[in-house]
């Protein structure tokens, strides 16, 4: 008799909550009017928004704890090919997303070139691609114990790299002088880097990939732990205790190596892993495994089945609406001014983000109804 597979509703809801919050913080109606908790910390420090991206990586790790099972027994060359293919496609999608729509358009509908020499190389999907590729390769080819040991070692190594190297004469933990920026400037040049900080600095730069791998591997380990044979009550208690302990270690480490999302410091990686473990433990209390989810749980489960596809859609839609002219502003700004600003500057900005997020949820629901899933 075939056994029905167990559903882990808490993991589905965790992924769904992460992508919904991610879209909301990425799409305020007006960036000049945003509630404080929905903004990233300016440099050192932490806000709720700083938990979103690492939670996305953690969620990818939990999904890998299920998906990597099918590689058992496959030739090593075939597994390597699959990892390289997925890593390459994710990186390519991220790169093309920042180049999209491949031209520039001003408010008078004048088109101009968007040369490849000015495109951003690294970014969110690129970070996911590289961290996923390294984590998947380590876990499959070196095994769990070696991977866990290497990831733990990478955190103090990254601390050493960041405080020991950088731009000469500048604070190695500053925006201007950090080693992340120094490496990217040498490898790809300022024209291919993010300029949102006022200078060429990419928060998803190559070097910050190293500590972010820990978030994916931690998600993988948590996914395996949840699927174990232990009593569910003890499982969630252990998750929360471990999470709280990691948060404490991170806060102590913060005294010497500040928590910083844009540098993805080791203390930041530990703090976000700890918080995600606590959140996952709490969700397991609300949603016991193999139990029917309540209405609000099913709401978040829907985007949790297709987080990468929904994220890509949201970014392409945002870029399109910011590119298209509408009167004296972009279509996105026109929509905020004429459809949401009457609620008040910040409330209207938040409401527009919530409506946009709900629109992306509808797309996820449509994909789910047709059983279309884009999995890492």
pLDDT at 375: 66
pLDDT at residue 327, rounded to an integer: 80
**Domain encompassing residue 260:** 9-369
Domain-located, residue 2: no
Total tally of structural domains belonging to the chain:
1
Residue tagged 């919530």 (tokens):
354
- What letters, b where the CB count within 10 A reaches 16 and e where it falls short, cover 3-40? eeeeebbbbbbbbbbbbbbbbbbbbbbbeebbeeebeb
Alpha-carbon dihedral sign for residues 97, 38, 213, 286: negative
Ramachandran angles phi, psi of 284, nearest 5°:
-65, -30
Question: What pLDDT sits at residue 326?
Answer: 86
4 located within any domain: no
Give a yes or no: residue 374 inside a domain. no
* Three-class DSSP category at 248: helix
Identify whether the C-beta of residue 217 lies closer than 8 Å to the C-beta of residue 210.
no
Which residues, including other chains, have CB under 8 Å from residue 231's CB and lie 6 or more apart?
none
Q: Which residues of the chain have pLDDT under 70?
A: 1-7, 290, 375-376
User: Is residue 1 a part of any domain in this protein?
Assistant: no
Q: Rounded to an integer, what distance in angstroms lies between the CA atom of residue 365 and that of residue 372?
A: 10
pLDDT at 1: 35
Q: What pLDDT, on a 0 to 100 scale, did the predictor assign at position 103? A: 82
Within a domain: 376: no
The 3-state DSSP class for residue 39 equals coil
List, as one string, the DSSP characters of 204-247: T-STTHHHHHHHHHHHHHHHHHHTSSS-HHHHHHHHHHHHHHHH
User: Is residue 133 in a domain?
Assistant: yes
Q: CA-to-CA distance for 196 and 202, rounded, in angstroms?
A: 9
Asked if the structure places residue 53 within a domain, the reply is yes
Can you list the alpha helix ranges (DSSP code H) found in 100-207? 124-164, 179-187
In a domain, 101, yes or no: yes
């Amino acid at each position: 008799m075939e056994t029905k597979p167990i559903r882990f509703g808490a993991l589905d809801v965790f992924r769904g909550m992460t992508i919904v919050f991610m879209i909301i913080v990425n799409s305020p109606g007006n960036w000049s009017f945003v509630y404080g908790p929905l903004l990233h910390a300016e440099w050192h420090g932490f806000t709720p928004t700083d938990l979103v991206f690492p939670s996305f990586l953690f969620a990818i790790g939990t999904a890998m704890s299920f998906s990597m099972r099918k590689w058992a027994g496959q030739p090593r060359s075939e597994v390597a090919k699959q990892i390289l293919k997925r890593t390459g496609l994710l990186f390519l999608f991220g790169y093309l997303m920042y180049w999209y729509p491949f031209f520039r358009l001003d408010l008078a509908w004048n088109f101009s070139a968007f040369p490849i020499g000015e495109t951003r190389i690294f970014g969110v999907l690129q970070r996911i691609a590289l961290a996923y590729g390294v984590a998947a390769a380590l876990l499959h080819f070196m095994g769990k114990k070696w991977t866990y040991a290497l990831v733990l070692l990478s955190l103090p190594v990254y601390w050493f790299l960041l405080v020991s190297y950088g731009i000469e004469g500048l604070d190695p933990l500053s925006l201007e002088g950090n080693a992340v920026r120094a490496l990217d400037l040498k490898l790809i040049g300022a024209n291919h880097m993010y300029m949102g900080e006022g200078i060429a600095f990419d928060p998803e730069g190559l070097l910050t990939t190293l500590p972010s791998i820990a978030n994916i591997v931690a998600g993988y380990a948590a996914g395996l732990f949840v699927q174990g044979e232990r009593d569910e009550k003890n499982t969630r208690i252990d998750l929360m205790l471990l999470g709280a302990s990691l948060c404490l270690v991170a806060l102590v480490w913060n005294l010497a190596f500040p928590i910083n999302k844009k540098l993805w410091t080791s203390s930041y990686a530990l703090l976000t892993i700890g918080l995600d473990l606590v959140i996952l433990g709490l969700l397991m209390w609300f949603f016991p495994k193999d139990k029917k989810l309540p209405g609000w749980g099913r709401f978040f489960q829907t985007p949790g089945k297709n987080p990468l596809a929904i994220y890509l859609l949201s970014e392409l839609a945002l870029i399109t609406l910011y590119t298209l002219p509408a009167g004296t502003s972009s279509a996105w700004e026109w929509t905020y001014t004429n459809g949401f600003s009457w609620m008040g500057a910040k409330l209207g900005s938040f409401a527009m983000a919530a409506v946009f997020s709900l629109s992306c949820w509808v797309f996820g629901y449509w994909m789910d109804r047709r059983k279309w899933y884009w999995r890492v």
